[in-house]
């Protein structure tokens, strides 16, 4: 191992077994043990954390909106005496979740209004969101589907798989299916393969995706057997969800690299959260660490206007500043697209810093990351510009 690789490895730490010192490695590395031993009660939290009054009240009320559940692996990342811990803010309920503002909604992305059949969201012309389960390994307190996820919300998910696949067979304009939920990787290998194989049997479905936070909450689930099964269904992509660099432990890195060895391209979707990743340096550390895990930062989401999310909201102007602070200061591969999922079902809208300062038929005036100003001619608009001559391709291939 060279010195650069060794230095990079230092940022990946194993926290096992942490709060569970008496657990044997075989148990700890069993993903089913991790699920059975999730932290789900106030009494369990009190064993390890010094809860604030806001957290204690939030836990007592959590069953009315979104259940409390944290895998032992992820729980080990929580600082016991710091209520402002960025990991803690993501998974420990707070009383602020019960407060609502006039602009908040139970379905901020308008998924229910774009659901032709239960569990299948068809909002974009050529792709669908397939909600296959309402359960997750752990529950993010800002979940945009808290109305239906975990069994504690106001709605229940009733996806009929046969009906959903009949819809997909009929709608030949659909070429892209995203399996999500809840979290599809909670399914057994056999059940997940059933979904993938049925989708692959539909000729016009070109592109399959899985959206999952299991590699981060439950890296033990990413077994060699799972990866061997998944690689039978290429092209298959996966979107993972990491918000803070501390989430990228040694176990998570190994799980993510195992997926890439199976030929699965990985993209990360972060949510901009107050007190979690709303500082430029934190975001820079995150995106650079993701690349070391072979994960391309894909989206940075403005937090959806979900009920009870105001305490985690960050101003859009601040999100733009973060992207501006990354551009030019790290590789372009590390810079995610900052988006707002337009309230009510308008879809993802890219939000960028103001690099284009002026634009007419003659020129574009732009600035770079250092604030320097440049002009670029608007070539092809002026009448005196001649079209590019055709290229003789035979010259290149003869």
Cite the active site residues: 123-124, 127, 136, 140, 143, 145, 304, 341, 348
Q: How far apart are CA 68 and CA 59, in angstroms?
A: 7
157-161-164-165 Cα dihedral, nearest 10 degrees:
160
Q: How far apart are CA 249 and CA 14, in angstroms?
A: 6
Asked whether 122 and 116 are in contact (CB, 8 A), the reply is yes
Which whole-number Å values give the CA distances from 160 to 118, 150, 156, 157, 164, in the listed order?
7, 18, 13, 10, 6
Q: How far apart are CA 334 and CA 272, in angstroms?
A: 16
Positive or negative torsion for Cα 213, 216, 218, 221: positive
Q: At 369, which helix (H) or strand (E)?
A: none
The residues with which 32 forms a beta bridge, in sequence order, are none
Question: What are the φ/ψ torsions at residue 363 (nearest 5 degrees)?
Answer: -160, 165
Which whole-number Å values give the CA distances from 162 to 82, 132, 298, in the listed order?
47, 12, 32
Find the DSSP H helices in the chain: 3-9, 25-28, 31-36, 42-48, 53-61, 72-75, 88-91, 161-170, 189-200, 214-217, 224-230, 250-261, 280-292, 316-326, 393-397
Asked whether 145 and 179 are in contact (CB, 8 A), the reply is no
Q: At 102, which helix (H) or strand (E)?
A: none
Paired tokens of 311: 């305490």
Residue 31 three-state SS: helix
Q: How many CA atoms lie within 13 A of 370 on its CB side?
A: 3
């Amino acid at each position: 191992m060279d010195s650069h690789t060794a230095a990079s490895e230092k940022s990946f730490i194993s926290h096992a077994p942490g709060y569970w010192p008496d657990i044997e490695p075989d148990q700890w590395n069993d993903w089913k043990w991790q699920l059975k031993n999730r932290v789900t009660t106030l009494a369990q939290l009190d064993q390890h954390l010094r809860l604030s009054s806001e957290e204690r009240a939030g836990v007592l009320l959590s069953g009315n909106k979104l259940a409390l559940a944290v895998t032992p692996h992820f729980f080990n990342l929580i600082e016991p005496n710091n209520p402002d811990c960025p990991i803690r803010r993501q998974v420990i309920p707070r009383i602020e979740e019960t407060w609502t503002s006039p602009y908040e909604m139970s379905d901020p992305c308008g998924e229910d209004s774009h659901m032709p059949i239960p569990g299948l969201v068809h909002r974009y012309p050529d792709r669908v969101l397939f909600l296959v389960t309402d359960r997750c390994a752990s529950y993010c307190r800002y979940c945009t589907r808290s109305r239906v996820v975990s069994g504690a919300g106001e709605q229940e998910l009733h996806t009929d798989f046969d009906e959903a696949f009949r819809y997909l067979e009929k709608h030949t304009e659909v070429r892209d299916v995203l399996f999500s939920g809840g979290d599809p990787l909670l399914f057994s290998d056999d059940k997940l393969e059933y979904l993938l194989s049925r989708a692959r049997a539909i000729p016009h479905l070109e592109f399959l995706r899985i959206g999952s936070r299991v590699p981060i909450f439950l890296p033990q689930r990413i077994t060699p057997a799972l990866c061997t099964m998944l690689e039978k269904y290429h092209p298959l992509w996966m979107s993972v969800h990491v918000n803070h660099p501390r989430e990228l432990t040694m176990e998570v890195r190994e799980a993510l690299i195992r997926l890439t060895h199976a030929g699965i391209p990985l993209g990360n979707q972060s949510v901009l959260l107050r007190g979690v990743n709303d500082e430029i340096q934190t975001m820079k550390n995150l995106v650079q660490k993701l690349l070391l895990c072979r994960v391309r930062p894909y989206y940075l989401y403005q937090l959806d206007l979900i009920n009870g999310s105001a305490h985690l909201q960050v101003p859009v102007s601040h999100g733009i500043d973060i992207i501006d602070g990354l551009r030019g200061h790290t590789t372009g591969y590390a810079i995610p697209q900052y988006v707002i999922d337009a309230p009510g079902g308008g879809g993802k809208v890219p939000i960028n810093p103001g690099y284009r300062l002026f634009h007419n038929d003659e020129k574009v005036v732009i600035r770079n990351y250092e604030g320097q100003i440049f002009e670029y001619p608007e070539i092809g608009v002026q009448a005196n510009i001649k079209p590019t001559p055709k290229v003789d391709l035979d010259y290149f291939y003869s």
